[in-house]
């Protein structure tokens, strides 16, 4: 008798592995196909987790070098042990990826190592590295194959001198000069890691601002902070060529609109201009799964492709390329397949940039509200007016809350500050309950916490903030 799975998921990133676990919990017989030897996808292996391990370690290094004396802790300047920092990162990655292997076993999920392709609805072929193939019979298939970094035309990534985020997570020494191409999330997070460890970082960005898509107020103030941290910015500029020289790299730039060429010398260039959906090797064209102009697998509101029994979630479909968005889609899809009612609220997906300070955002930006012609009011509160922030030398930044001008319903929240990524969730929960800024302002907040600044921003929308 042939084993027939209820669900076969191709890809074990935060979309695929979470979908697998939830489906197994709901009683389905689940298989996961992963081409890599470890589970967890981009996020656990070369994304969220290793980058946060290096961001934490480099921030500690920076703090020990610059802030301890202010706190009355005199130490000789810290010395960098980069190999040990990389061991810390690798240990964190393997603890997390082996955690997924444990959860798969616990939930009786069958895994197959190899490249998955779809022969037709109901049949997945797994090709191992040695060329051996296995066929899986399955009632449903989920494409959770994630994304890969976008290349710059004519520029070849070697992951040593010209790197993507993957190479930037394992440089063997601190570059003297690092050029980051793209002032998005990856460029600013990984640029921060190497700047803190001693690199001179120059960011070349095509647009005339950093972090497109984030609230412009926050991005503007954050850019000033990054300049203080030693970053150089070349906005409205494009890279046209990178040449390898005896000294390192010669990077040619020109104004985005065209014009005179300039050269920047660097020893490493990080290309971080976005990521694109990954459908390589799946054989989707052969079976006729529809792909959008942007390369995303097309789905309906139940994550179903145009072919019955084939679904897709995560970075490979439309929406923000975020781990928690992929995971939420995985849970909802598993629940829908089990006959439950479930949905993802795409209006309330937080986004965090894990720099120093952090940036966290949920809901609409001020620019979006303007574009959509929604009448809104703004409540702002600076961390300068917050006692706990001052005690922790973290008084930079502010909280900004946007609420409907008539109903007071909170439409968006944006925080620039230490631990913003933790604080954003009270605004997210409030928005899930369609709460108003008054609800937030009436909620007692523990003192002294940085979250009091969130309440003060809500107060600023009504009766007025106290500590300003």
Binding ligand FAD (rule: CB under 6 A), the pick from 315, 396, 426, 456 is 315
Binding ligand NAI (rule: CB under 6 A), the pick from 116, 187, 379, 417 is 187
**Positions 347 through 386 that interact with ligand NAI (CB under 6 A):** 351-354
310: closest CA among 318, 299, 301? 299
User: Binding string to ligand NAI for residues 231 to 270, with x set by CB under 6 A, is what?
Assistant: -------xx-------------------------------
Is residue 361 involved in binding ligand FAD (CB under 6 A)?
A: no
Is residue 109 involved in binding ligand FAD (CB under 6 A)?
A: no
- Distance of closest approach, residue 210 Cβ to ligand NAI, in angstroms: 7
Binding ligand NAI (rule: CB under 6 A), the pick from 275, 304, 388, 414 is 275
Our CB check for ligand FAD shows the closer of 10 and 223 to be: 10
* Stretch near ligand FAD under the rule CB under 6 A, chosen from 9-17, 202-210, 389-397, 443-451: 9-17
Indicate the residue whose CB is closest to ligand NAI: 184
Is residue 218 involved in binding ligand NAI (CB under 6 A)?
A: no
- Distance of closest approach, residue 102 Cβ to ligand FAD, in angstroms: 17
- 66, 340, 447, 467: the catalytic one is 447
Q: Which does 144 bind (CB under 5 to 8 A by kind): ligand FAD, ligand NAI, none?
A: ligand FAD
Q: Which does 10 bind (CB under 5 to 8 A by kind): ligand NAI, ligand FAD, none?
A: ligand FAD
**Positions 130 through 159 that interact with ligand FAD (CB under 6 A):** 144-147
Our CB check for ligand FAD shows the closer of 323 and 458 to be: 323
Return all residues near 204 (Cβ < 8 A) that are at least 6 apart.
179, 180, 181, 182, 234, 237, 238, 239, 251, 253, 264
Is residue 295 involved in binding ligand NAI (CB under 6 A)?
A: no
- Distance of closest approach, residue 164 Cβ to ligand FAD, in angstroms: 8
Is residue 16 involved in binding ligand FAD (CB under 6 A)?
A: yes
Residue 467 is a catalytic residue: no
Query: Which token pair is 94?
Result: 């393997």
- Dihedral sign from CA coordinates of 221, 227, 229, 232: positive
The dihedral formed by the CA atoms of 442, 446, 448 and 452, expressed in degrees to the nearest 10: -30
Contact 6, 137 (CB under 8 A): no
Our CB check for ligand FAD shows the closer of 31 and 461 to be: 31
Binding ligand FAD (rule: CB under 6 A), the pick from 138, 140, 192, 278 is 278
Is residue 43 involved in binding ligand FAD (CB under 6 A)?
A: yes
- Distance of closest approach, residue 466 Cβ to ligand NAI, in angstroms: 32
Return all residues near 266 (Cβ < 8 A) that are at least 6 apart.
175, 177, 178, 179, 202, 248, 249, 251
Binding ligand NAI (rule: CB under 6 A), the pick from 182, 330, 397, 417 is 182
* Stretch near ligand NAI under the rule CB under 6 A, chosen from 1-9, 222-230, 317-325, 379-387: 317-325
* Stretch near ligand NAI under the rule CB under 6 A, chosen from 103-111, 203-211, 410-418, 440-448: 203-211
Residues forming the site for ligand FAD (CB under 6 A): 10-16, 33-36, 41-43, 47-48, 51, 115-116, 144-147, 165, 186, 278, 281-282, 314-315, 321-324, 326, 354
Give the active site residues: 447
Residues forming the site for ligand NAI (CB under 6 A): 152, 181-187, 189, 204-207, 212, 238-239, 272-275, 320-322, 351-354
């Amino acid at each position: 008798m042939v084993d027939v799975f209820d669900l076969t998921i191709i890809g074990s990133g935060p979309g695929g592995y979470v979908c697998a676990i939830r489906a197994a919990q709901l009683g389905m017989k689940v298989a996961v196909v992963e081409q890599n030897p470890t589970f967890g996808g981009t996020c656990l292996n070369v994304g969220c987790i290793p980058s946060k391990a290096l961001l934490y370690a480099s921030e500690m290094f920076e703090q020990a070098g610059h802030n301890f004396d202010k706190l009355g802790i005199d130490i000789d300047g810290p010395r960098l042990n980069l190999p040990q920092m990389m061991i810390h990162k690798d240990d964190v990655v393997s603890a997390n990826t082996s955690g997924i292997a444990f959860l798969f076993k616990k939930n009786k999920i069958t895994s197959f190592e190899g490249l998955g392709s779809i022969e037709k609805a109901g049949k997945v072929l797994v090709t191992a590295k040695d060329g051996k193939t296995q066929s899986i019979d399955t009632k449903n298939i989920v494409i959770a194959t994630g994304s890969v970094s976008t290349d710059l035309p004519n520029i070849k990534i070697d992951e040593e001198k010209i790197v993507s985020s993957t190479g930037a997570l394992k440089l063997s020494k601190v570059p003297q000069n690092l050029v980051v191409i793209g002032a998005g999330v990856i460029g600013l997070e990984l640029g921060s890691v190497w700047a803190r460890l001693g690199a001179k970082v120059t960011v070349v960005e095509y647009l005339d601002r950093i972090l497109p898509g984030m609230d412009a107020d926050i991005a503007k103030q954050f850019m000033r902070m990054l300049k203080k941290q030693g970053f150089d910015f070349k906005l409205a500029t494009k890279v046209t060529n990178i040449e390898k020289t005896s000294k390192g790299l010669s990077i040619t730039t020109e104004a985005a609109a065209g014009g005179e060429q300039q050269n920047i010398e660097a020893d490493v260039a990080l290309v971080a201009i976005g990521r694109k959906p990954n459908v390589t090797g799946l054989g989707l064209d052969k079976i006729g799964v529809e792909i959008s102009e942007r390369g995303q697998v097309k789905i309906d509101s139940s994550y179903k492709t145009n072919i019955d029994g084939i679904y897709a979630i995560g970075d490979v479909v439309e929406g923000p390329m975020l781990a928690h968005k992929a995971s939420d889609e995985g849970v909802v899809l598993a629940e829908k397949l089990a006959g439950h009612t479930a949905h993802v609220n795409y209006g309330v997906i937080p986004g965090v940039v894990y720099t120093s300070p952090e940036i966290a955002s949920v809901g609409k930006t001020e620019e979006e509200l303007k574009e959509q012609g929604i009448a809104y009011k703004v409540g702002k509160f600076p961390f300068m007016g917050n006692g706990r922030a001052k005690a922790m030398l973290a008084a930079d930044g502010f909280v900004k809350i946007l609420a409907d001008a008539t109903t007071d319903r909170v439409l968006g929240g944006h925080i620039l500050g230490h631990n913003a990524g933790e604080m954003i969730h009270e605004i997210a929960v409030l928005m899930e309950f369609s709460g108003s800024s008054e609800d937030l302002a009436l909620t007692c907040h523990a003192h002294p916490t940085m979250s009091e600044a969130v309440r003060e921003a809500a107060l600023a929308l009504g009766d007025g903030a106290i500590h300003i």
